[in-house]
Amino acid sequence: MSGVKLTEGAASVQLCAGPLFYRQAEPETGPSGLSVLLLHGVRFSSENWLEIGTLHALAGAGHRAVALDLPGLGRSKAAAAPAAVGELAPALFLKQVCHALDLGPVAVVSPSLSGMYSLPFLLQHGDLVKAYVPVAPICTEKVSAEQYRTVQTPALIVFGDQDTQLGELSLSNLKHLPNHRVVVMKGAGHPCYLDDPETWHKALLDFLQAL
């Protein structure tokens, strides 16, 4: 796609032994919108965001989009999980990723497994999260309704209507976020973005444009 520059790289963070692979897309003329950090589920990687066109769609709309392979997964298999520093590790890990990649305040797209990182990050470093897009993430039940209500970050809650387990469970918890909207993707399963990329991209870009 013309007008979009796609690159690959490796980021090093203090909490993680080994480099973290990432893919990046940005407009050739430079980004004009919010930076977007794309995470992934346990059976997936940054390659999925490349294959279905999410990186290009975001860059085409003016965003700098970075898709990270999480520790131990994808092309970050050699990177050990964040070193144990109690409950602070997951949130601090993503803070260090954002710093290493010079992302600044960021929109975080977080499907499935990545909820174990993104939810603590949202709660502990909300000033760094300008927008939150949870896609049926895990660990939503570990956050109390009271904790959710303290978060002012705009959120787009997305799930497929065929995902009757994590989709509905995550919504029942995430709906306590005071500044949220919900998109239910018809006929889509747990990785709903893979089942219907067109609907996914429209929902994501409309949300980001409205911020």
Identify any residues that bridge with 37 across adjacent strands, giving them in sequence order.
Answer: 66, 108
The active-site residue out of 35, 45, 112, 170 is 112
Annotated catalytic residue, options 63, 69, 76, 163: 163
Indicate the burial class of 198 (C-beta count within 10 angstroms; 0-12, 13-18, 19 or more). Answer: exposed
Catalytic, 112? Answer yes
Strands (E), the chain: 4-11, 20-27, 35-38, 65-68, 106-111, 129-135, 155-160, 180-185
Catalytic status, residue 163? yes
Residue 157 sits at the vertex; the CA angle it makes with 205 and 82, to the nearest 5 degrees, is 95
Write out the catalytic residue numbers.
Answer: 112, 163, 190
